[in-house]
């Protein structure tokens, strides 16, 4: 599988969606999952192999799937967009 600018851009968009939840008031448990997901997303947006990016995206997706809700509508929307991006990257 190839790893081109599109995959790097998706990884960056994934990170930015998660980063955008930092200042929102959200559920404490969801916040921990989001923090872990954001850390992984940060690692895979750089110069990494396609395999590392796919595996990291899979990890992010699993972390996000553990979130049942954030108690904040805007954060929930960001999490949903991040889930879709992570799923695309995991299949890239």
DSSP letter for 22, please.
Answer: T
60-79 pLDDT per residue, tens: 999 999 999 999 999 999 99
Average pLDDT, the chain: 94
Please say if the pLDDT value at position 4 is more than 60.
no
With a pLDDT cut of 70, the percent of the chain lying above it is 95
User: What mean pLDDT comes out for the span 26-31?
Assistant: 96
Q: Which of 44, 38, 43, 37 is nearest to 8 (CA)?
A: 44
**If residue 31 lies in a helix (H) or strand (E), which one and from where to where?**
helix 28-44
What's the pLDDT at 91? 93
The residues spanned by each domain of the chain are 5-91
Q: How far is Cα 79 from Cα 55, in angstroms, rounded to an integer? A: 19
Tokens representing 32 are 């921990």
What's the pLDDT at 5? 56
């Amino acid at each position: 599988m190839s790893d081109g600018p599109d995959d790097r851009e998706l990884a960056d968009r994934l990170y930015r969606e998660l980063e955008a939840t930092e200042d929102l008031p959200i559920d404490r448990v969801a916040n921990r999952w989001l923090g872990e997901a954001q850390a992984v997303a940060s690692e895979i947006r750089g110069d990494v192999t396609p395999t590392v990016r796919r595996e990291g995206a899979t990890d992010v997706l699993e972390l996000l799937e553990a979130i049942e809700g954030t108690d904040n509508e805007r954060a929930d929307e960001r999490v949903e967009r991040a889930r879709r991006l992570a799923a695309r990257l995991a299949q890239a």
